[in-house]
A and B are shown apart, each in its own frame.
Chain A
Amino acid sequence: MEEEKEVMEEMEVEIEDPLPCLSETDTQGIIKGRDLFGYVGIEAVLDQMRRKTMKAGFEFNIMVVGQSGLGKSTLVNTLFKSKVSRKSCTPNYEEKISKTVHLQSVSHIIEEKGVKMKLTVIDTPGFGDQINNENCWEPIVKYVNEQYEKYLKEELNVNRKRRIPDSRVHCCVYFLPATGHWLRPIDVEFMRRLGKIVSIVPVIAKADTLTLEERLEFKQRIRQDLQANGIRVYPQKEYDEDAEDRILNDKIRENIPFAVVGTDKEHQVNGNKVLGRKTKWGIIEVENVAHCEFAHLRDLLIRSHLQDLKDVTHNIHYETYRVKRLNESNANGLALSPLTLENGTLEKSEAESHL
């Protein structure tokens, strides 16, 4: 997007000089398309951009965090309509509660209408499953910072690649169990720490156990809790760029967290095949907005805000990390080079994350 703006500016400068009479029509100096004599073809830049990005493909890294059994893998599969989660990829998969939190990432390249996306799903089995869950968020914080560190090293390299492989976590979906009461201490602790370094999207998992009233009350209480604890979740208020964004994001913020239900099974409803869960008292249609908010989550994550998530990660979270690291090395009097980054700084980033 920045490239695009630069190109536009350059072109404007070129046009203004040869045709000064046109500047009378617009005080700001921007010449609108309809005022031009002919078709210049500025908007073709968008096409060029589109073609380039389609060739290069997108990268998107999504992390799912939550206790075991909350439907994380199923939801990711439902979101991307393909079997992309660790659960589907590991042969002979058996659900066992692991003793420590370890992160596993699975990458797939999915294609739709010529657009290729390299999707990486980072799973966190073992989170919050033990009796004593103190510091179970630390491996996750460490992982996120490590990805920033990797990118930083590449960026500071003398000979750096044209496209730096982006393994930074663009979005962290945090699964809340549908208790209907409030945020648990572990939820507060996790979101407080991770909200500072990554964009968190909280969702209410397995929400088919809440009636609509209970859902509203639960969401309200969660929002109150989030505010009371100073936790910022995506979309963050501070990063709204203009009024248009703010209106759009406010609507989203009123609905957070989304109450979702995931499934990979299809059933017949009124002659159509729908994704849903069949129970004795009815079929819960996953994509029906009257039933659950899966469609809203999908729209947010994929259809409307995917690029925004990446931008926020790159422009804000990554930059915060970078500034912090540069200040550290300046304070230590060390020149920031890839070599000095190896010693002692990883520990520092860990120490920082003990916030």
Chain B
Amino acid sequence: MAAHSTVSRDCEDQDKEYVGFATLPNQVHRKSVKKGFDFTLMVAGESGLGKSTLVNSLFLTDLYKDRKLLNAEERITQTVEITKHTVDIEEKGVKLKLTIVDTPGFGDAVNNTECWKSVADYIDQQFEQYFRDESGLNRKNIQDNRVHCCLYFISPFGHGLRPLDVEFMKALHEKVNIVPVLAKADTLTPLEVKKKKIKIREEIEQYGIKIYQFPDCDSDEDEEFKQQDQELKDSIPFAVIGSNTVVEAKGKRVRGRLYPWGIVEVENPAHCDFVKLRNMLVRTHMQDLKDVTRETHYENYRAHCIQSMTRMVVKERNRNKLTRESGTDFPIPTAPGVSDSETEKLIREKDEEVRQPPHTQTQEQECVTQECVDQECVMHDECVQESVQEECVMQEESVQEAEHCAELC
């Protein structure tokens, strides 16, 4: 009897201590399902490496239904385009808005110098647009068009990375998550696949290319998960085969390619790494790809953008101080707390101006002036912080205020 009562008391105690926020993941889950997810995937590589086929296979859709193949003359003058296809996919109540960004014309010309420039510009444009939206007043419905992942197709016909591959990846590795993929892997024997993967991994390291790194799994994960994770890391670049057709193999209908010498099954892990790639992209790492894009690539862009804007602003301000002109039009908000060596210099200069005739000032005045300088700094910071959230006009005023304050001191 006694034992029973203690147990029940324990339960009651537990109830009292139970707050209930363990249900948060479920709440988040429910909200996300309602809202739906979005994901932007870019595919890049020379023509004829099976990009469109792979995208169709990955998401089991037919994004590229009516492709118009250009004839010879049109192709000679073709430049690199950026095309976007959006499709809404729903599975078990979860909605995914998938955007595929394609780069037709990449690497096809005789002279391919800087053909990656339009791709890099596109990615920057998406970042810039998001930056403006984020800094704007109405942030309810921001469209996130930032590219979350770039699948770069490496040709299986070469001996590893080509000069074009290296240049492309180096130009983009700090803007987007690059996942290298070994295309048309059905032209390689298993030994050749292994050798090529090792060679490509060596070259990626040799050239200092930062491809997307899978996050290390936590130490408390079970062995099977860790092993899978390690296998995944060892499979880069993924040797993939895509197919738009369903064939019959051993009595089953599978997605595959029919050759006179056998049938290649796309979803057979012994044949290619397609399943690994799909699992990585969709089932396990989609959220991480988005997070890395948001936290690393986008923040890098934003910091870089703001730094260059600040330098512009400070230069303008210096010019204004000399000419006593007001009304400089700052296009974009200035940055808080980023290493503004020039602003510091200005502040130091003012400091010195103030301190110049020390014998005329009393201690008190010194304190006052010091306070003023401090205040100015504080005000400057505050103003700048505020201005990040506000329009240009507001900042202009605050900057003028700061200058006015400086003049007062």
Instruction: Find out whether the CB atom of A97 lies under 8 angstroms from the CB atom of B162.
Output: yes
Instruction: Find out whether the CB atom of B189 lies under 8 angstroms from the CB atom of A185.
Output: no
Instruction: Find out whether the CB atom of B72 lies under 8 angstroms from the CB atom of A188.
Output: yes
B258 / chain A contacts, CB cutoff of 8 Å: 211
A133 / chain B contacts, CB cutoff of 8 Å: 110-112
Tell me if A281 counts as interface (CB < 8 A to partner B): yes
- 25 inter-chain pairs at a CB distance below 8 angstroms, sorted by A residue, are A70-B157, A97-B162, A129-B163, A131-B113, A131-B167, A132-B111, A132-B112, A133-B111, A134-B111, A179-B48, A181-B47, A181-B69, A182-B69, A182-B72, A185-B110, A211-B259, A212-B260, A221-B69, A224-B71, A228-B73, A280-B270, A280-B271, A282-B262, A283-B262, A290-B260
Q: CB-nearest residue of chain B relative to A130? A: B163
> For residues 135 through 194 of chain A, which have their beta carbon under 8 Å from a beta carbon of chain B?
177-186, 188-189
Rounded to whole angstroms, the CA-CA distance of A285 and B261 in the bound complex is 8
Tell me if B186 counts as interface (CB < 8 A to partner A): yes
Instruction: Find out whether the CB atom of A281 lies under 8 angstroms from the CB atom of B163.
Output: no
> For residues 229 through 268 of chain B, which have their beta carbon under 8 Å from a beta carbon of chain A?
257-265
Tell me if B164 counts as interface (CB < 8 A to partner A): yes
Known contacts A186-B110, A279-B190; A229/B164 CB under 8 A: no
B271 / chain A contacts, CB cutoff of 8 Å: 280-281
Rounded to whole angstroms, the CA-CA distance of A129 and B162 in the bound complex is 7
Rounded to whole angstroms, the CA-CA distance of A192 and B160 in the bound complex is 29
What string of 1s and 0s marks CB contacts (under 8 Å) between A85-123 and chain B? 000000000010100000000000000000000000000
B47 / chain A contacts, CB cutoff of 8 Å: 179, 181, 184
Q: CB-nearest residue of chain A relative to B48? A: A179
Interface of B is mostly: loop
Tell me if B146 counts as interface (CB < 8 A to partner A): no
Tell me if B158 counts as interface (CB < 8 A to partner A): yes
What string of 1s and 0s marks CB contacts (under 8 Å) between A54-76 and chain B? 00000000000001111000000
Tell me if A208 counts as interface (CB < 8 A to partner B): yes
Tell me if B359 counts as interface (CB < 8 A to partner A): no
Instruction: Find out whether the CB atom of A283 lies under 8 angstroms from the CB atom of B112.
Output: no
Tell me if A278 counts as interface (CB < 8 A to partner B): yes
Nearest chain B CB to A308's CB is how many angstroms away? Answer: 29
Q: CB-nearest residue of chain B relative to A214? A: B257
B111 / chain A contacts, CB cutoff of 8 Å: 131-134
Instruction: Find out whether the CB atom of B186 lies under 8 angstroms from the CB atom of A291.
Output: no
Which one of B112, B155, B163, B259 contacts A208 once the chains associate, using CB atoms below 8 Å? B259
Rounded to whole angstroms, the CA-CA distance of A134 and B76 in the bound complex is 13
Nearest chain B CB to A280's CB is how many angstroms away? Answer: 5
A contacts with B, residue count (CB < 8 A)? 46
> For residues 68 through 96 of chain B, which have their beta carbon under 8 Å from a beta carbon of chain A?
69-73, 75-76
Nearest chain A CB to B319's CB is how many angstroms away? Answer: 42
Known contacts A185-B108, A281-B263; A228/B72 CB under 8 A: yes
Nearest chain B CB to A166's CB is how many angstroms away? Answer: 33
Tell me if A233 counts as interface (CB < 8 A to partner B): no
B162 / chain A contacts, CB cutoff of 8 Å: 97, 129
Which one of B159, B188, B261 contacts A95 once the chains associate, using CB atoms below 8 Å? B159
Complex A-B, nearest 7 residue pairs according to Cβ-Cβ distance, in ascending order: A179-B48, A282-B262, A281-B262, A282-B261, A209-B187, A69-B158, A95-B159
Rounded to whole angstroms, the CA-CA distance of A229 and B71 in the bound complex is 11
Which one of A95, A131, A221 contacts B163 once the chains associate, using CB atoms below 8 Å? A131
Rounded to whole angstroms, the CA-CA distance of A205 and B261 in the bound complex is 17
Tell me if B49 counts as interface (CB < 8 A to partner A): yes
Nearest chain A CB to B338's CB is how many angstroms away? Answer: 36
Nearest chain A CB to B254's CB is how many angstroms away? Answer: 12
A69 / chain B contacts, CB cutoff of 8 Å: 155, 157-159
Tell me if A310 counts as interface (CB < 8 A to partner B): no
Nearest chain A CB to B49's CB is how many angstroms away? Answer: 7
Q: CB-nearest residue of chain A relative to B77? A: A185
B260 / chain A contacts, CB cutoff of 8 Å: 212, 290-291
A279 / chain B contacts, CB cutoff of 8 Å: 186, 188-190, 262
Rounded to whole angstroms, the CA-CA distance of A277 and B108 in the bound complex is 29
A67 / chain B contacts, CB cutoff of 8 Å: 157-158
Instruction: Find out whether the CB atom of B113 lies under 8 angstroms from the CB atom of A132.
Output: yes
Tell me if A206 counts as interface (CB < 8 A to partner B): yes
Interface-central residue, A132, A133, A281, by most chain B CB under 10 Å: A281
Instruction: Find out whether the CB atom of A209 lies under 8 angstroms from the CB atom of B184.
Output: yes
Known contacts A185-B76, A206-B157, A211-B259; A177/B48 CB under 8 A: yes
> For residues 44 through 61 of chain B, which have their beta carbon under 8 Å from a beta carbon of chain A?
46-49
Interface-central residue, B48, B72, B186, B188, by most chain A CB under 10 Å: B72
Known contacts A97-B163, A133-B111; A283/B157 CB under 8 A: no
Rounded to whole angstroms, the CA-CA distance of A180 and B188 in the bound complex is 17
Nearest chain B CB to A193's CB is how many angstroms away? Answer: 12
Tell me if A350 counts as interface (CB < 8 A to partner B): no
Tell me if B109 counts as interface (CB < 8 A to partner A): yes
Q: CB-nearest residue of chain B relative to A212? A: B260
Q: CB-nearest residue of chain A relative to B53? A: A180
Instruction: Find out whether the CB atom of B262 lies under 8 angstroms from the CB atom of A185.
Output: no
B69 / chain A contacts, CB cutoff of 8 Å: 181-182, 221
Nearest chain A CB to B77's CB is how many angstroms away? Answer: 9
Instruction: Find out whether the CB atom of A177 lies under 8 angstroms from the CB atom of B155.
Output: yes
Instruction: Find out whether the CB atom of B187 lies under 8 angstroms from the CB atom of A208.
Output: yes
What string of 1s and 0s marks CB contacts (under 8 Å) between B138-162 and chain A? 0000000000000000011111101
A281 / chain B contacts, CB cutoff of 8 Å: 186, 259, 261-265, 271
Interface-central residue, B155, B156, B189, by most chain A CB under 10 Å: B189
Nearest chain B CB to A314's CB is how many angstroms away? Answer: 32
Nearest chain B CB to A103's CB is how many angstroms away? Answer: 19
Nearest chain A CB to B274's CB is how many angstroms away? Answer: 13
Instruction: Find out whether the CB atom of B261 lies under 8 angstroms from the CB atom of A291.
Output: yes
Instruction: Find out whether the CB atom of B75 lies under 8 angstroms from the CB atom of A182.
Output: yes
Q: CB-nearest residue of chain A relative to B264? A: A281
Rounded to whole angstroms, the CA-CA distance of A17 and B110 in the bound complex is 67
B110 / chain A contacts, CB cutoff of 8 Å: 132-134, 185-186, 189
Tell me if A225 counts as interface (CB < 8 A to partner B): yes
Q: CB-nearest residue of chain A relative to B249? A: A281
Tell me if A256 counts as interface (CB < 8 A to partner B): no
Known contacts A129-B162, A282-B259, A291-B260; A185/B109 CB under 8 A: yes
Rounded to whole angstroms, the CA-CA distance of A281 and B260 in the bound complex is 11
B46 / chain A contacts, CB cutoff of 8 Å: 179
Nearest chain A CB to B2's CB is how many angstroms away? Answer: 68
Rounded to whole angstroms, the CA-CA distance of A14 and B194 in the bound complex is 73
Q: CB-nearest residue of chain A relative to B258? A: A211
A181 / chain B contacts, CB cutoff of 8 Å: 47-48, 69
What string of 1s and 0s marks CB contacts (under 8 Å) between B97-128 and chain A? 00000000000111111000000000000000
Instruction: Find out whether the CB atom of A188 lies under 8 angstroms from the CB atom of B113.
Output: no
Tell me if A284 counts as interface (CB < 8 A to partner B): yes
A221 / chain B contacts, CB cutoff of 8 Å: 69
What string of 1s and 0s marks CB contacts (under 8 Å) between A256-299 and chain B? 00000000000000000000011111111100001100000000
